[in-house]
Structure 1
């Protein structure tokens, strides 16, 4: 089976859209970074490097230093699909990030977004 197109897409091409979505709703790019670091275990320096290098989504999540075990608490619908029901691991990680950015843009408190 062929890989989904998003797997080979650069995270750096999509990331500005996450930030724009958050900023349109009065949130910040720093909060998007915080969410991404929480999810993946990247430090800010490592995250910046991944974006600078144009790393694709598949590599970005496969190389993540420490995927947060609490990410399994992320539930709900994104793009018409329940994130907890997605069977492909990389697609599920991508959708977890999408869902967290959605929650941020909807005004949810960071404490709740980060499942603390």
Structure 2
């Protein structure tokens, strides 16, 4: 069975939308970077590389250096779906990233976004 078309979308094509969303609400590219690196384990150089290579989302998550073990603590609704109930593991990872960026844009405290005790 073929995956959802978002799986073949490049990270580089959605990243500017994440940054624009955060900046429209008075937040920064650095905050977006912080939540993405927290989730995936990519460092700044790694993110720049996947952006330059136009890596698709399936590969982006498959090659993520270290998915954060606390990612399963990400809950809530994004695009009308509860992220904790998404069954496809890749789609759930994408929704986690969407949710983190949404929380940055809404001005949630970084300690809460990063699920820091």
Structure 1 partner of 2:40 = 40
Structure 1 partner of 2:69 = 69
Count of residues paired in the alignment: 116
Q: 1: CA distance between counterparts of 2:43 and 2:18?
A: 18
Unmatched 5+ residue regions in structure 1? none
CA deviation string 1:44-97 (max 9, x = no partner):
101110111000000000000000001100000111110000010100000000
TM-score (normalised: structure 2)? 0.98
CA deviation string 1:23-46 (max 9, x = no partner):
000000011001100000011101
Structure 1 partner of 2:5 = 5
3-state SS in 2 of match to 1:111? helix
Residue 13 of structure 1: how far off its partner (Å): 0.4
Structure 2 partner of 1:109 = 109
Q: 2: CA distance between counterparts of 1:66 and 1:44?
A: 14
Structure 1 partner of 2:79 = 79
Structure 1 partner of 2:21 = 21
Structure 1 partner of 2:97 = 97
Residue 2 of structure 1: how far off its partner (Å): 1.8
